[in-house]
Structure 1
Amino acid sequence: MSGQFSSFLRPILQTLAGLSTLSIRLTRIAIAIVLIWIGGLKVYNYEAEGIVPFVANSPVMSFFYAHPTEYKPYMQKEGEANPDKIKWHTANNTYLFSYGLGTVLVVLGLMLLLNTYNPAIGMAGAAMVIIMSVVTLSFLITTKDNWVPDLGDPNHGFPLLSGRGRLVVKDIIMMAGAFFALCDSARQYLLKTQ
């Protein structure tokens, strides 16, 4: 029985093994789609406001905001448009920072896609995505909003991720995929420069 299963499985495994180059391309494209899409969303108020707790609580990034410690009363739900809160976010540089971050994300996505034409650009893009992921993952330490709050349920705090925390922890996949792309770009660069 295992011989029959093995003879059935072997051609499938050989086909999959032959698709490893395609898998690297698909990983690079998937990362680029996420970066370009989310980067493009950074021009919308709800997306800019959604990252405020991360930026405001980050010792590396809080200086981008005019009033990083005062954000809580000005947080809006997705889809809310309170003019007073929007005015505060404008004065806080919330939107301006988000436009800059969005531009960086779109550029990183495009750099990954340019790997086909220039592996050095792909390599630089992948390296910067790794750095971006490390910064994003640091929010798990700096932003307490990443953990289920103590609102009466005995199950709260670390390791129970909130919605924000689940969003952040996914960057582990982004970082691993970018490392995969970085290694492939380095291989392609060395082949082209031999």
Structure 2
Amino acid sequence: MSVPTIINDKQSLVIARVLLGLFLLLTAITRFTATDASYFSKQLQAVNIPDLPWLSAFLGVMQLLTLVALIVPRHRLSQAMLYIYAGLATVPLLMMFTHPVWIDALGGFPAIGAGQGLIKYLGIVAVSLFLASHYAGHTQINKLAVKLAVAGILLVMVWIGGMKFTQIEADGIEGLMSTSPLFSWIYSLFSVLHGSYFIGVVELVAVVGILLAPWSDKAYVFGLGVAALTFAATQTFLITLPGYETSLGFPVLTGSGQFIVKDLALLACCIILFNNRKLVGH
């Protein structure tokens, strides 16, 4: 028995556009700061590429153009811009192979450290492709985007969720969780390590539910719901951590803040998948 749809296709598209747009806007603003310019310079140096001082601002402009495309998605130029941005968003995924993103103290791969923010780009690629192909009428690409959305959510929930069972990750998320009223109560029930275990179990439960899509629509919707709530709840960290530069104020985000708002794209993936269940397993 299928779970009834709460929002229709048109509404899900609007929500997905808003969520992706918020991610683009919040991170684009930060692209025009000296902090982000310095970050990109260091990333280029790490792979022996000459410094490109204009790169951060260029990416900011591209993100703002993509934001405009989301406002008028039926225009061909908008669809082209969304495709271009989807292509740009694949670059961070390739950085997984060139940057020190593994935790040496845990034996390296697959213990992921700095790469946690990079793998979230698969969801960003998926949403961008889905919206571009939907409005352009490219059915096959649209189907591919749905599969990428599933992969994007599972990749994050399995990999980062699995890391929750390590002491290093438990210590790393303590500062986030202890400041948020939505998560701090966990530490009144569990230790830092076991609180991390709890979060990891919740994320893996979501994974199991999503993987059961071909056999149980209820389990699939439950898994998507847990994932969606997780991605939505993490946004509280922007304020409670805080995830913005205190010297400049909101909305100029810190590195942690940019990591957090990537979950907006993953939340958009959940919305898209809920309304495209037939392409996943039903």
Q: TM tier, shorter chain?
A: 0.5 to 0.7
Q: C-alpha separation between the residues in 1 aligned to 2:217 and 2:141?
A: 20
SS in 1 for 2:153: helix
Query: What residue ranges of structure 1 are gaps of 5+ in the alignment?
Result: 1-12, 67-91, 151-155
- Conservation of the 8 A alpha-carbon contact between 1:127 and 1:179: no
CA contact (8 A) 1:43 1:102 kept: yes
Percent identity between matched residues is 27
Distance in 1, Cα, partners of 2:154 & 2:264: 16
Cα distance in 1 for residues equivalent to 2:185 and 2:197: 16
Task: Say whether residues 1:97 and 2:195 are aligned partners.
Answer: yes
Unaligned segments of structure 2, at least 5 residues = 1-132
Per the alignment, residue 250 of structure 2 pairs with 158
Worse-superposed segment, 21-30 or 128-137: 21-30
CA distance in 1 between counterparts of 2:212 and 2:276 reads: 13
Q: Distance in 2 between matches of 1:131 and 1:149?
A: 27
SS of match in other structure, 1:130: helix
Take 1:143 and 1:52, find their aligned partners in 2: how far apart are those partners? 11
**Match status 1:53 vs 2:175:** yes
Taking the TM superposition and a 5 Å limit, the aligned residue runs for 1:40-189 are 40-66=162-188, 93-144=191-242, 146-150=243-247, 156-185=248-277
Q: Which amino acid aligns with 2:255?
A: G
Q: How far apart in 2 are the matches of 1:112 and 1:147? A: 33
CA distance in 2, matches of 1:120, 1:184: 14
Distance 2:229 2:199 in 1: 14
Report the residue type matching 1:61 in the other structure: F
**RMSD, matched Cα:** 2.8
1:38 is matched with 160
- 104-113 vs 31-40, greater mean Cα deviation: 104-113
**1:121 & 1:157 partners in 2: Cα distance?**
41
Work out the CA distance in 2 between the residues paired with 1:102 and 1:20: 31
State the match for 2:107 in structure 1: none
TM-score, length-normalised on structure 1?
0.67
Distance in 2 separating the partners of 1:183 and 1:138: 26
Question: Are 2:158 and 2:207, in contact at CA under 8 Å, matched by a contact in 1?
Answer: yes
Q: Which amino acid aligns with 1:184?
A: N
* Cα distance in 1, alignment partners of residues 259 and 149 from structure 2: 19
SS at match of 1:23: helix
Separation in structure 2 between the aligned mates of residue 163 and residue 26 of structure 1, nearest angstrom: 25
CA contact (8 A) 2:227 2:270 kept: yes
Deviation at 1:15, TM superposition (A): 9.1
CA distance in 1: counterparts of 2:185 and 2:144, whole angstroms: 42
8 Å contact kept, 1:56–1:65: yes
CA contact (8 A) 1:32 1:109 kept: yes
Counterpart amino acid of residue 21 in structure 1: K
* Match runs of 1:19-38 below 5 Å: 19-38=141-160
Partners of 1:149 and 1:15 in 2: CA distance:
44
* 1:122-167 Cα distance to aligned partner (Å, 9 max, x none): 11111221111121112212222x12243xxxxx321111121111
For residue 188 of structure 1, report the CA deviation from its aligned partner. Answer: 7.1
